[in-house]
């Protein structure tokens, strides 16, 4: 119940702050940054729509300011203020904002020393024209008159003629406007729609993945219907995973398509897509774990391990669901927050625990199958182990690449390639699912891999013998009744082997 309450709390939190390419500001307070007061209005990758730049994205790209209002309390309205500016710049031009006096600390607002040099007016924002991008950065603003509690930033639409990562900041330098706040919205549009540039390729990707799951589903369900009398419990579980995957990919595609058309992310669709994905990942890991333990193939139950497996699965689902909700619901820009890294740790730790437990169980199962010379099951388990090993190696390599990618892209300048990172994990997961489907596809020989009571008895004998052999009483120099019984038991086992 505690976990359920926590998830509901997260859902209720993000449901009231859904923002996307339509960035809404509801009383955002200015924060002191150096010698300036700042509100971050958003950061997104935008593709150019200028035909002279030979861009392959027809349509219009723009950032539009709509009904942006600055407010201050009545008790702080007895003076005429300095300007409150809207600053729009491309990430390559970030050094054109701010300056320093005599090599000192960089400042956004013009200081007395810089004003003496005649390079700016004291109390105003320092900015210089971009050498590579004429007309940028764009700076415009408004100010409070005497006794005014609000002032409106005139509507403005800025055409984007250069592909890049664009930033919007609201900045003022007046110490007396500490209590000022921002209301209104900005609309960001790419040539193909309202999806942020980093996310735009993912709509086509999820369309492709939806088709891939349909093809896999057709193969699997046709085999399932053809040999339904030979179906194993494991194959029923694989059917569930394929069904969840089909729903997940379809929901993600619909989510991105609606987001692209309206500029506002559909909350309910996103939550459902995230939930189906979290359930699919949890069920997939649990299936791999219990298969590695030999469930349904060499043992009928998990015994005392059932509660531990379910506990690990439930905890992983909660952690994964919360992480994905924070990552996808209420995301407002292409600039990812560092605070989200904290939520990655529990998921990463449990993934590592899954991997250790899976390979430990696989090693034990393979040894037992080899000892009993169950060649058909041994062969399929070896292929399964190889596929898992390859996927783990690829995962580790990709994690290293992802760390390198993010650590060397502090300003999201590589935003056009960022979609590849989440896409890789979907492709890897789908590929492993295809391998499992190929290994355990329903067929007329499915029962060759099913659990039989005779094999279970043999496995239990092996486990008993292993426990007896590891007993500290088993010494060549000390005899006891328990040791005599153990030796007799071992003799019986050897006689059975000979027979």
> Which pLDDT does position 7 carry in this prediction?
37
Cα–Cα–Cα angle for 192, 195, 197, rounded to 5 degrees: 85
Q: What is the pLDDT of residue 101?
A: 53
For residue 408, what pLDDT is reported? Answer: 82
Question: What confidence score (pLDDT) does residue 494 get?
Answer: 42
Phi, then psi, of 94 in degrees rounded to 5: -65, -25
Which tokens sit at 322? 């919360």
Q: Which helix (H) or strand (E) holds 110?
A: none
User: What pLDDT digit, counting tens, does each position of 264-288 carry?
Assistant: 888 899 999 999 999 999 999 999 9
Q: What digits encode the pLDDT tens for the residues 347-375?
A: 889 999 999 999 999 998 898 888 888 78
What average pLDDT does the structure give for the chain? 80
Which of 3-17, 99-113, 242-256, 396-410 shows the lowest per-residue confidence on average (mean pLDDT)? Answer: 3-17
- Length of the chain in residues, anyone? 499
**Mean pLDDT to the nearest integer, 232-245:** 89
Share of the chain above pLDDT 90, in %: 42
DSSP letter string, 372-429: HT-HHHHHHHHHHHHHHHHHHHHHHHHHHHHHHHHHT-TT-TTGGGTTHHHHHHHHHH
Is the pLDDT reported for residue 40 higher than 70?
yes
Rounded Cα gap, residues 367 and 360, in angstroms? 11
Of 474, 499, 498, the C-alpha closest to 486 is 474
pLDDT of residue 330: 63
pLDDT tens digits, 117-168: 777 888 788 888 898 888 899 999 999 998 899 999 988 899 998 999 999 9
User: Rounded distance, CA 414 to CA 198, Å?
Assistant: 9
Which residue has better confidence, 121 or 3?
121
d(CA 317, CA 347): 9
Are 259 and 194 spatial neighbours (Cβ–Cβ below 8 Å)?
yes
Q: Which helix (H) or strand (E) holds 479?
A: none
Long-range contacts at 200-208 (CB < 8 A, ≥ 24 apart): 200/47, 200/260, 200/419, 201/419, 202/252, 202/256, 202/419, 202/422, 202/423, 203/253, 203/256, 203/257, 203/260, 205/419, 205/423, 205/426, 206/249, 206/252, 206/253, 206/256, 207/253
Position 420 pLDDT exceeds 70: yes
Structure tokens that stand for 331 in this block: 């995301």
Of 179, 43, 38, whose CA–CA distance to 108 is shortest?
38
Q: What is the pLDDT of residue 341?
A: 64
d(CA 233, CA 451) in angstroms, rounded, equals: 10
Q: Where do the domains of the chain lie, and which CATH numbers do they carry?
A: 23-189 (no CATH), 200-451 (1.20.1070), 455-498 (no CATH)
- 440 and 295 Cβ atoms separated by less than 8 Å: no
Q: What percent of the chain has pLDDT over 70?
A: 78
Residue 42 forms beta bridges with which residues? 168
Instruction: With cut-offs at 50, 70 and 90, classify the pLDDT of residue 113.
Output: confident
Residue 469 pLDDT greater than 70, yes or no:
no
CA–CA separation, 440 and 384 (whole Å): 10
pLDDT value of residue 300: 66
| Other Cβ atoms closer than 10 A to 312 | 18
Pairwise pLDDT comparison (358 vs 1), residue with the higher score? 358
């Amino acid at each position: 119940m505690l976990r359920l309450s926590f998830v509901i709390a997260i859902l209720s939190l993000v449901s009231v702050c859904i923002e996307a390419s339509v960035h809404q500001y509801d009383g955002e307070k200015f924060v002191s940054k150096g010698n300036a007061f700042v509100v971050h209005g958003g950061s997104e990758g935008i593709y150019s729509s200028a035909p002279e730049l030979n861009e392959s994205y027809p349509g219009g790209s723009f950032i539009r300011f709509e009904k942006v209002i600055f407010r201050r309390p009545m008790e702080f309205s007895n003076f005429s203020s300095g300007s409150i500016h809207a600053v729009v710049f491309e990430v390559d031009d970030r050094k054109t904002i701010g300056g320093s006096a005599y090599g000192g600390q960089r400042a956004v607002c013009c200081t007395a020393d810089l004003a003496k040099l005649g390079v700016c007016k004291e109390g105003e924002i320092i900015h210089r024209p971009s050498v590579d991008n004429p007309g940028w950065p764009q700076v415009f603003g408004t100010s409070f008159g005497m006794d005014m509690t609000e002032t409106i930033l005139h509507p403005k639409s800025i055409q984007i003629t250069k592909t890049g990562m664009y930033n919007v900041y609201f900045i003022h330098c007046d110490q007396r406007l500490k209590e000022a706040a921002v209301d209104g919205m900005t609309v960001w549009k790419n040539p193909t729609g309202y999806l942020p540039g980093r996310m735009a390729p993912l709509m086509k990707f999820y369309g492709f993945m939806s088709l891939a799951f349909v093809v896999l589903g057709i193969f699997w369900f046709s085999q399932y219907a053809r040999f339904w009398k030979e179906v194993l419990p494991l194959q029923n579980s694989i059917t569930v995973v394929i069904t969840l995957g089909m729903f997940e990919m379809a929901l993600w595609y619909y989510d991105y398509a609606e987001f692209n058309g309206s500029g506002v992310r559909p909350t309910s669709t996103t939550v459902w897509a995230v939930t189906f994905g979290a359930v699919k990942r949890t069920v997939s890991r649990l299936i791999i774990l219990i298969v590695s333990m030999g469930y349904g193939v060499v043992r009928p139950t998990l015994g005392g391990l059932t509660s531990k497996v379910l506990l690990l699965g439930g905890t992983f689902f909660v952690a994964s669901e919360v992480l994905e909700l924070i990552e996808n619901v209420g995301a407002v820009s292409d600039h990812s927050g560092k605070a989200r890294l904290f939520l990655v740790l529990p998921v990463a730790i449990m993934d590592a625990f899954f991997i250790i437990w899976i390979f430990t169980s696989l090693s034990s199962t393979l040894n037992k199958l080899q000892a009993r010379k169950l060649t058909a099951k041994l062969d399929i388990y070896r292929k399964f182990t190889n596929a898992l090993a390859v996927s783990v190696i690829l995962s580790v390599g990709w994690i290293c690449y992802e760390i390198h990618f993010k650590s060397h892209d502090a300003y999201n300048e590589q935003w056009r390639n960022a979609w590849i990172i989440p896409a890789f994990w979907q492709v890897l997961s789908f590929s492993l699912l295809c391998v499992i489907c190929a290994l355990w596809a329903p067929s007329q020989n499915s029962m060759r891999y099913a659990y039989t009571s005779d094999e279970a008895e043999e496995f239990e004998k092996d486990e008993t013998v292993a426990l007896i052999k590891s007993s500290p009483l088993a010494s060549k120099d000390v005899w006891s009744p328990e040791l005599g019984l153990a030796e007799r038991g071992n003799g019986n086992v050897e006689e059975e082997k000979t027979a």
